[in-house]
Amino acid sequence: MNSVFCAIALGGNLGDPKTTLESALQVLSQKPGITLVKRSQLYLTKAVGPPQPDYVNACAVLSTSLPPQALMATLLAIETQFGRVRREKWGARTLDLDLLLFDDVILNTSALQIPHPRMTERAFVLAPLVEIAPDWVEPVSGRTVADLVKTVDCSEVKKMG
């Protein structure tokens, strides 16, 4: 398979999330078939769901020769490597890696949905993503990331120094 561009979101709010996100990007960039092309700054975001610490979020654009399912399996393995345990929906976590966009692919299986089904509603995804991929067209809506970010309230998403 030829390389394609994909976009991922990173987040975490347990332990030292800043260090975890930086380390996860390093681990990811060392995996065969994955190249880190561009990454956003880190953002601090109020948590959604049960009471928990604020999140540190970021996005990255990768180039990959892996098919979407293999890339997702790699992301899940890295989450586990960094101590991710899935206990409750929207619960606190050491690391969350979401596959947002995979070229212009639309995929809807029980195991994987691309584009990520809730990315267009999430300021903590769109704010860092617009920094690195403003012209990327989300294939379901047909709208650019720069256009989509205008439709969400980004007031709770703050760039970290």
Question: Length of the chain, please?
Answer: 161
Q: Which member of 39, 86, 87, 93 is catalytic?
A: 93
Give the tens place of pLDDT for each residue, 7-16: 999 999 999 9
Q: How high is the pLDDT of residue 87?
A: 62
Please tell me the distance from the alpha carbon of residue 107 to that of residue 79, in angstroms, as a whole number. 22
Give the tens place of pLDDT for each residue, 95-113: 999 999 999 999 999 989 9
Distance of CA 125 to the CA centre of its chain: 7
Q: Which member of 54, 84, 103, 147 is catalytic?
A: 84
Domains observed in the chain: 4-159 (3.30.70.560)
Nearest to 132 by CA among 3, 4, 2, 5: 5
Give the tens place of pLDDT for each residue, 72-96: 999 999 999 998 666 666 567 889 9
Q: Which member of 54, 87, 98, 118 is catalytic?
A: 98
Catalytic residue flag (residue 93) = yes
Catalytic residue flag (residue 84) = yes
Give the tens place of pLDDT for each residue, 46-70: 887 778 899 999 999 999 999 999 9
